[in-house]
Amino acid sequence: MNRHTHSPTPLRFWQQNVNKSLISQLDLLNQVNPKAFDLIFIQEPHIDFLNLTRANPSWTVVYPSQHHSSPNTTWSVTLVSTSVSKNKWKQVHMQSADVTAVELTGDFGSVSFYNIYNVCENSDTLFKLQDFWSRRHPPTTRQWHQQHGLGGRFQQAPPLVG
Amino acid sequence: MVWVGDFNRHHPLWDDHSSARLFMPANLDAASVLVDLVGTFSMDMPHPAGIPTLETFRTGSLSRPDNVFCSAPLTPAFIECQTRPELRPARTDHFPIVGTLDLTPERSVPAARRSWKSVEWDEFSTSLSDNLGAIGQAHPIQDKDNFFAVFNLLTAAIQSTTDQHVLETRPTPYTKRWWSPELTRM
């Protein structure tokens, strides 16, 4: 049984595409201290002959919801540090092999993190996410989009070319 | 919400403007789906534009397929969101993106456990006998109140003996179940 405590440590994440390489993923696990980082978002994870990815006991692995029925198509895996109270996060299930999502709750409310791999050839994953988000996070400011023509605020974004 | 990932899309809104080769009409068309999504859900881009996240192995050219987006109200919570090329793991051409948010998730701390295997049992038994002796002579329990009174005395005697002789320990992640005091002495 674990006791839970509030720590002032801010939430930290590491985002990494490891090109399906075992060496790369092991190097990543070796570098990222689970006491300093809460989430690792991996794209193109290594999947071994047991249809599992690699992690160590300091991390809880979140696979795409359909991973165990079609493990060869998994392109996204999220690792959650065991230092985060298990009562305060949960997987957000979505029927895509390219997305893993977790929702953290706390004094700050709740925040969902989506770990996305979108293939070069098509935008199927993005369309799937659009449907999912429209149901789960209905946009409140569609008018804003219509007024501004393009996306949200792009930090330090230079003006459009052409 | 926060979107983190490898979107494999190129657009002047996030790629370096000098990478004109990336801004072919087909690429811009493909990126428009993502740009529309960002607008529809009023997302911000906390990772500054123009900073590459990929250095291809073959040509060494730089681009920005990876990205981070967050809901506009969450933007002030971002303390840091930056690429760390010096921390890139082996065998990948993608740079890590490290983000820090001013959110404090609840942490789990392993509860302390009793180290029963280090107990000196002779001393424990002697203390327990003394503590139980202090309760007084055993006598038949007559009613519910009497039962709980005796039960509490017995529990207190065992608990105080445990506190006296059994140390508390917090297991580390490096604990091995098969490690014994004999191995320590070797």
Q: Is the minimum CB–CB distance between A110 and chain B shorter than 8 Å?
A: no
Q: Tell me how far apart the alpha carbons of residues A72 and A26 are, in angstroms, rounded to a whole number.
A: 20
CB within 8 Å of A30: residues ≥ 6 apart: none
pLDDT tens digits, B18-52: 888 899 999 999 999 999 999 999 999 999 999 99
Whether ipTM tops 0.90, in short, is no
Residue B19: inside a domain: yes
Alpha helices in chain B (DSSP H): 25-40, 121-135, 144-165, 181-185
| Among B residues 23-52, those touching chain A with beta carbons less than 8 Å apart | 23, 30, 33-50
Of B74, B101, B128, at which residue does a domain stop? B101
Q: Tell me how far apart the alpha carbons of residues B165 and B74 are, in angstroms, rounded to a whole number.
A: 51
* CATH code for the domain of A92: 3.60.10.10
pTM beyond 0.90: the answer is no
> Is residue B99 within 8 Å of residue B46, measured between CB atoms?
yes
- Note the pLDDT of residue A146: 40
Q: Are B118 and B179 contained in the same domain?
A: yes
Residue B107: inside a domain: no
The residue with tokens 């953290």 is A104
Q: Are B25 and B81 contained in the same domain?
A: yes
Residue B179: inside a domain: yes
Count of domains forming chain B = 2
Type and span of the H or E element at A150 = none
Residue A140: inside a domain: no
pLDDT tens for chain A, 162 residues: list them. Answer: 444 554 578 999 999 999 999 999 999 999 999 999 999 999 999 999 999 999 999 999 999 998 988 888 899 999 999 999 999 999 999 999 999 999 999 999 999 999 999 999 999 999 999 999 999 887 654 444 443 334 444 554 443 433
The pair of structure tokens assigned to A16 is 């990494």
**Pairwise CB contact (< 8 Å): A21 & B91:** yes
Per-residue CA distances from A145 to A134, A157, B103 (Å) = 15, 17, 28
- Note the pLDDT of residue B135: 87
**Pairwise CB contact (< 8 Å): A118 & B13:** no
A82 lies in which domain range? 13-119
pLDDT tens digits, B51-69: 999 999 999 999 999 999 9
Of B101, B135, B151, at which residue does a domain stop? B101
**Pairwise CB contact (< 8 Å): A155 & B4:** no
Of B60, B77, B101, at which residue does a domain stop? B101
Residue B121: inside a domain: yes
B5, B49, B102 ranked by CB distance to A157: nearest: B49
Nearest to A107 by CA among A29, A2, A4: A4
Per-residue CA distances from B112 to A48, A131, B156, B166 (Å) = 36, 46, 20, 12
**Pairwise CB contact (< 8 Å): A85 & B173:** no
Q: Are B96 and B125 contained in the same domain?
A: no
Q: Is the minimum CB–CB distance between B168 and chain A shorter than 8 Å?
A: no
**Pairwise CB contact (< 8 Å): A152 & B45:** yes
* CATH code for the domain of B32: 3.60.10.10
Q: Are B62 and B9 contained in the same domain?
A: yes
Residue A24: inside a domain: yes
B63 lies in which domain range? 2-101
Count of domains forming chain A = 1
| Among B residues 100-159, those touching chain A with beta carbons less than 8 Å apart | 100-111
Interface test with A, best of B16, B29, B41 (most A CBs within 10 A): B41
